[in-house]
Structure 1
Amino acid sequence: MSADGFRWKTVDDGEPALFGVDELLAPDRSTGRMSDLEFLHVTAKRILNHVPSGSRAPTNWTINVYRGCSHACAYCLAGDTPILMADGRARALSEVRRGDRIYGTAGDDGDRRLVPAEVLDHWATSKPAFAVVLFDGTRLVASADHRFLTTDGWREVRELAVHGADLVQTRREPSARLHKIAVRSVDDLGVEMPMYDITTTTGDFIADGVVSHNCFARPTHEYLGMNLGEDFDRRIVVKINAVERLRAELADPRWTGEAVAMGTNTDPYQRAEGKYRLTRGVVEALGEHGTPFSILTKSPLVTRDLDLLTDAAARAPVSVNFSIGTLDERVWRATEPGTPNPRRRIAAMAALADAGIRTGALVAPVLPGLSDGPDQLREVVRAIRDAGGSLLGISPLYLRPGVREHFLDWLAGFDAELHADYLRRYAHGAYAPEHYLDLLYERAGVPRRRGGVAARLAPQ
């Protein structure tokens, strides 16, 4: 394919290019178990990427050696937030696209009203996740620096956790008046999750009925002129000079050795890593320079690099985390047959912990009636504890639009009685009722800490 279709050189805001047209090498169409993937080789101009100004992410630097991701995940803990479209319908944030017409707001705080707006950009990243729960049961998952409109102006989620607030809300209808609703709790989920956001002509949008501010976007596949659907899953951009470039940047006298996050955009241990081994080279380089780093992954392939992770952890803080919804073999095979066996993830966690690497897991997604039994939950918690990991939190299934229809269709054929229960349980939105989350922690036998970090399990 031609490089002319890609936005390689520049972006609208004038940021320097990551790589140029002349640096796009011939595509590599893989064979064997990767025959469904196409790898686009590029030589990157930089590997250590500074978080954009205006962001208050906990780390200032990220590394992503791949753009796009071959994981086929069935659930998403972010991106399912309903956005009020200009036709009065709701659409999941992850499915909104540039050029879509939505509703934003206009006017001052005393006379703010809903007005049509256009989506100028749509993007994805990964950040530490917080659950913001309102008194009417609305539950939003957002990053700490995401801003919502309150009766006292724009406030970040981190501020809501400390001071509380009344958010400005509409009844999810274009003709509805804005009103206030109090925040009941803010929970740190203790894990990084995929996050989506948009830029609009009004500077805001309606997220599950709440007025939400734009955040700063870092481009992914759309930035390069590819789509975020099939292209994101199948066409993987590979920065083949990542290790060489990183070593040069780490050797620069101006580099101060700040913490680096890996997996902030795509999984560093996705299938492409088995072919290119770039993440291994990055881990080795970071370790040699004593640079602290964290990894977010769903793949047990990370244990391949235990030798390098151990060496790196001896010089600086290193952490690796996973997500595990259940250890029930029947439930896993029925609901997530394309994902790595959860016991392999537990084994990977144990290997990391035995090697002295900080590690843990989020118990998610928990499926009502399928994987939420006390014995099932306690088995996962016990496995995490026995593996030497930390419990990062418990999260039930989110039935976002698209996933909702697909999952419920499958469930109807799997168990008609359970299907009827889900229709009642999820009748008012994508989230299970808030009291159900309390029940999950109770069944798991661990405390739920509101407004702070999730419960931790010390290995015994």
Structure 2
Amino acid sequence: MRAVQESLLDAGSASPPVERPRIERQAVTRAIGGVTCHEVAARTAVERVPEAAELPYRWSVSPYRGCEGACAYCAARGDHRRIGQDAGAGFASTIVVKTGLADRLRRELASPRWEAEPVVLGAAGDCYQPVEEVYRLMPPILRALADAGNPFTVMTKSPLVLRDLDLLREAAKVAPVRAAVPVGFVDDRVRRSVEPGATTPQRRLEVCAALNEAGIPCGVLMAPILPLITDSPDHLRSTVRRAAEAGAVSVTPIVLRLPSGTREWYLSWLEREHPGLLPRYQALYGRGSTAEAGYRARIAAQVRGLAETYGIGRGDRRWRRRRSPARQLTLA
């Protein structure tokens, strides 16, 4: 078993972080609760989304690097390693805060080279994670995008996004504004293990419903689907059905990726929680970061079929939930 894990880990191994990385030498460091925040002046605002991420976006704006959600599978862990930070436990306990990001964003959006392409907010770390309650970086970012009339999508698992609902509505008057809530599965037992710091799937779906009811189109990123854990027909059907109940305007399936930095941490979790699956992961992922193409195509086809069954993305749905006080989505 150990040999299997070492084989998988070797494929994503990299040099350890150097001592005293530059970001720590240049940052203003604050402790907020149990989180260490490195405040650094933003050098860039708009960044290209790697094609390998398989996200339906080309450009991103991320006020934070690292995420208190502590999701074992988060593909942004490699970014933490590249700036000299711990991609394991440190990903959730050491957050890079990009100060002055809204001002930098305004300058970049005003550049004649920028063609007002859509951007996604929060690709490198949830833009509404708990430290946002202290730093409040998102309101000026939303105002900058609205003033430029630039289309954008907010990607978050947090109900804190509802704090800025008025700003989202104002921005939607001048440009397309959407939201995306990642819900890869609805089994909260799995969530407690692999997403220990994230809100429950139910709460995220309530946020999806609230945004849609407020006029901000919100879809579900079914990400990630965990091979051999949350990819059964029952898991997939339950997740798509619950997304439909929340009024999701779309559902986008994304199978787990294991890039360097993520691979090591996720496989350590897998060895603790599901050791018998390690050999099967070796067969599915080989020495790459993505699952075998045929498997991904099969999962995507299943989700597309379920979305069609439940009418997601169609104005006149074939299926409608039975409403009852016990089953309605509510915001507590």
> Normalising TM by the smaller chain, what interval?
0.5 to 0.7
Q: Does 1:279 align with 2:138?
A: yes
Aligned partner (choices 20, 31, 34) of residue 36 of structure 1: 34
Offset of residue 48 of structure 1 = 3.5
Q: In the alignment, residue 357 of structure 1 is paired with which amino acid?
A: I
Name the CA distance, whole Å, in 2 between partners of 1:388 and 1:395: 22
Name the CA distance, whole Å, in 1 between partners of 2:232 and 2:87: 36
Quickly say closer, same or farther: Cα 1:68–1:443, change in 2 above 3 A.
Answer: closer
Among the aligned pairs, what percent are the same residue?
37
Question: Secondary structure of the residue that 2:306 maps to in structure 1?
Answer: coil
Match of 2:70 in 1: 72
Q: Does 1:458 align with 2:321?
A: no
Aligned partner (choices 383, 403, 406) of residue 266 of structure 2: 403
Q: Map 1:206-355; keep pairs closer than 5 Å.
A: 222-223=82-83, 226=85, 228-229=87-88, 232-247=91-106, 257-355=116-214
Deviates more, 1:369-378 or 1:345-354: 369-378
Relative to the length of structure 1, the TM-score reads 0.50
Decide which structure has greater helix share.
2
Match of 1:194 in 2: none
* Structure 1 alignment gaps of length 5 or more: 9-20, 80-93, 95-122, 125-219, 413-418, 449-454
Name the CA distance, whole Å, in 1 between partners of 2:279 and 2:89: 33
Deviates more, 1:325-334 or 1:288-297: 325-334
Conserved in 2, the CA contact under 8 Å of 1:263 and 1:296?
Answer: yes
Match of 1:48 in 2: 45
Name the CA distance, whole Å, in 2 between partners of 1:426 and 1:58: 25
Aligned partner (choices 41, 60, 63) of residue 61 of structure 2: 63
Aligned pairs, number: 283
Match of 1:391 in 2: 251
Aligned partner (choices 281, 284, 304) of residue 426 of structure 1: 281
Decide which structure has greater strand share.
1
Q: Map 1:124-143; keep pairs closer than 5 Å.
A: 124=79
Name the CA distance, whole Å, in 1 between partners of 2:246 and 2:307: 20
Name the CA distance, whole Å, in 1 between partners of 2:194 and 2:63: 30
Conserved in 1, the CA contact under 8 Å of 2:126 and 2:156?
Answer: yes
Name the CA distance, whole Å, in 1 between partners of 2:60 and 2:295: 37
Offset of residue 347 of structure 1 = 1.0
Offset of residue 366 of structure 1 = 4.0
| Alpha-carbon displacement from aligned partner over 1:21-66 (angstroms, at most 9, x marks no partner) | 8xx5742222xxxx2212233344x5534659xxxx9977643322
Q: In the alignment, residue 37 of structure 1 is paired with which amino acid?
A: V
Name the CA distance, whole Å, in 2 between partners of 1:275 and 1:301: 12
Q: Give the superposed CA RMSD.
A: 4.2
Question: Secondary structure of the residue that 2:34 maps to in structure 1?
Answer: coil
